[in-house]
Amino acid sequence: GAGVSQTPSNKVTEKGKYVELRCDPISGHTALYWYRQSLGQGPEFLIYFQGTGAADDSGLPNDRFFAVRPEGSVSTLKIQRTERGDSAVYLCASSLKPGLDTDTQYFGPGTRLTVL
Amino acid sequence: AQSVTQPDIHITVSEGASLELRCNYSYGATPYLFWYVQSPGQGLQLLLKYFSGDTLVQGIKGFEAEFKRSQSSFNLRKPSVHWSDAAEYFCAVGALFGNEKLTFGTGTRLTIIP
């Protein structure tokens, strides 16, 4: 079946603008994760959803970042007042159920965000 | 807090040669350990994972990794690399209970020469 999809694949914006990044998880997957990968770095955890609720948002860097998953499927990562330091690849992953020992996180191709 | 170190930023090997990518982790208890591969334009793909039991784990594409608690290491190996193995490789650690997030290393870029 289809994997995790993310749109757009590339997003260029200007400093101070608002952006939304979308993630469509694998159908039926209850857990959804957002990571951020800066150039030359490994992915860094941002937030994890179990169903509609954010179970762990400890990785969000500040209050300009917010994510939602209103119906327990598609998720949107929202960034307000973008800064040049927000430029990165934003990765989404999903798993059938939570539990690192019981399931695997499947990653999407990412959205490359460039803030000019 | 958990952390992962991948000491080799870039490794070049000849096609058909053996490969070992190093990974050291820091975690207070038995960790969950993973190796992912990232090809250009592709999402991260899981190669293998270790939770418990046999310390030598087999993965996809002919890769294996060995968990060594005494050395806090989880090195990835392949006996004979193929040109298609050229990619970025990430080691990751996860906590045992109640923590779903993965902590990744900075990655090792693998180049294959003919």
Give the mean pLDDT per block of 10 residues along chain A (116 residues).
90 98 94 94 94 92 96 96 97 83 84 97
Find out whether A6 and A21 touch, Cβ atoms under 8 Å: yes
Interface test with A, best of B34, B44, B45 (most A CBs within 10 A): B44
- Mean pLDDT of all residues in chain B? 91
Q: Chain B contact for A31, CB < 8 A? A: yes
Q: What would the two tokens of residue B85 be?
A: 């193995």
pLDDT band at residue B96 using 50, 70 and 90 as cut-offs? low
Q: What is the pLDDT, as a whole number, of residue B22? A: 98
Q: What is the mean pLDDT of residues B93-109?
A: 82
Contacts of B92 in chain A (CB under 8 A): 42
**Which among A21, A13, A20 is positioned nearest to A83, based on CA atoms?**
A13
Three-state helix/strand/coil letters over A45-110: EEEEEECCEEEECCCCCCCCEEEECCCCCCEEEEECCCCHHHCEEEEEEEECCCCCCCCCCEECCC
Give B51 to chain A, closest Cα distance, Å.
6
For residue range B20-76, list pLDDT tens digits in order. Answer: 999 999 887 778 899 999 998 788 999 999 988 889 999 999 999 999 999 999 999
**Which among A110, A92, A86 is positioned nearest to A8, based on CA atoms?**
A110
The answer to whether A107 contacts B45, with C-beta atoms less than 8 Å apart, is yes
